[in-house]
Amino acid sequence: MKADAYGHSLALCAPAVVRAGAQWLGVTSVEEGVHARTVCSSARILVISGVFPGQGAAVLKHNLTPVVWDETHFAELESAARAANAAPQSIPVHLEIDTGMSRQGIAPEETANVLKRFTPQSPLRLEGVMTHLYAADEADGRITGEQLARLELALTQIKSAGHSVEWLNVGNSAALLGGQAQAIGSLAARFGMKALLRPGFALYGLAPKVEGAEDDRQLLTEQQLKPVLAWKTRVVSLRTLQPGDTVGYNATFTATEPMRVALIAVGYGDGLTRSLGNRFALLVRGRRAPLIGRVSMDQAVMDVTEIPEVQSGDEVILIGSQGGETITAFDHAKAAQTIPWEIFTRIGARVPRVAV
Ligand SMILES: *Cc1c(COP(=O)(O)O)cnc(C)c1O
């Protein structure tokens, strides 16, 4: 649910996944966790990316479950627990192990040392062990195998120190759909733990591209999932251009013949990638209309010469289907040289999110 549910709206999506049976929500920060708590009063909320000094009280007050690995996380949570007179073992935390991404977590070799913090008197309870797979979208599984082996080293130390931990918290959408859920599940079972996967992207109805996957498997997941988001705007007004007329900032488009163009109410301030000007097409009246000229902050212009029935107020599709045509977040990502995760999370706050 991080990044406002990948741009889809936490307020709309978090209650929807809880209604569908989700018991845990994952967010990145304490701020996001507090927001998630306002829309979901009872779900567990995992705060993935650390606790800053001063945020411990909010973690306790809103019953958030932080991922911890740094000395500052322990210090902050322990002092908030003292201030709140929290009972021993009353604050569940998930300890992250760095199995190779070098982003978050303790080295497996540090595990025994860090475990000393989890005394019976500590207000913190080691409820989960977490790591993040950084190449789950690579079909050969080599890196994931190495990461799980490093994780196993840490789990062995945790077990021999006498801790029994409930959750093995590993794996994103690619791990879930790319066939690694099995390996995660059996690792968890070997240590008497339950597997907790953290799919994000797939929740929104898209399958990550698995590098080197057999096409059949990729297609299967694509057919089983349905994107939940459509992104729409409308035609503001139309005008006719004469040969020699130019369009937009810096005149990057010049008409060479009479044209009909539509002004649309979306720009880079809404998340439409600026570099798509003169390089992408959107849908109106079920047909593709090329973006011409530069994309402005608030507006863009489409060539609708071939679609003469277009009128002011017509619906324009940036992502979604119209007639027999479809534009996906993958199409935007390819044209913008990025990944669909970034396309979704850049859709601006001023674009209203509406549940249908
Ligand atoms: C974002 C994130 C996920 C979800 O990744 P998807 O590829 O969107 O499924 C899982 N775990 C962590 C730690 C993340 O940061």
With 80 as the cut, is the pLDDT of residue 342 above it? yes
Ligand 1: lining residues by beta carbon, under 6 Å: 2, 48, 132, 172-174, 198-202, 208
pLDDT at 214 over 80: no
Q: Which two tokens stand for residue 337?
A: 């040289």
249 given a catalytic annotation: yes
The DSSP element (H or E) to which 144 belongs, if any, is: helix 142-160
Q: What is the per-residue pLDDT across 269-305, written as a single tens digit (0 to 9) for each?
A: 999 999 999 999 999 999 999 999 999 999 999 999 9
Which is catalytic among the residues 2, 6, 204, 268?
Answer: 2
pLDDT digits (tens, 9 = 90+) for 20-70: 999 999 999 999 999 999 999 999 999 999 999 999 999 999 999 999 999
With beta carbons less than 8 A apart as the criterion, state whether 110 and 98 touch: no
CA of 134 to the centre of ligand 1 (A): 9
2 catalytically annotated: yes
Residues sharing a CB contact under 8 Å with residue 160, sequence separation 6 or more, in sequence order: none
Positive or negative: CA dihedral 201, 203, 205, 207: positive
Predicted local confidence at residue 210, as pLDDT = 80
Q: For the sheet containing 124-131, what is the strand order?
A: 24-27, 44-47, 64-68, 91-96, 124-131, 167-170, 194-196
Q: How far is the CA of 200 from the centre of ligand 1 (A)?
A: 6
The number of the ligand 1 atom at minimal distance from the alpha carbon of 67 is 13
Q: How far is the CA of 63 from the centre of ligand 1 (A)?
A: 22
Compute, in angstroms, the gap from residue 201 CA to the centroid of ligand 1. Answer: 8
| Ligand 1 atom closest to Cα of residue 173 | 9
Q: What is the mean pLDDT of residues 114-133?
A: 97
Q: What is the pLDDT of residues 62-107, one digit of tens each?
A: 999 999 999 999 999 999 999 999 999 999 999 999 999 999 999 9
Residue type, 295: V
- Residue 326's Cβ-side half-sphere holds a number of Cα atoms within 13 Å equal to 6
Give strand pairing partners of 27.
Answer: 47
State if pTM tops 0.75: yes
| Candidates 209, 232, 249, 268; catalytic one | 249
* Residues above pLDDT 90, as percent of the chain: 94
Terminal-to-terminal C-alpha distance of the chain: 19
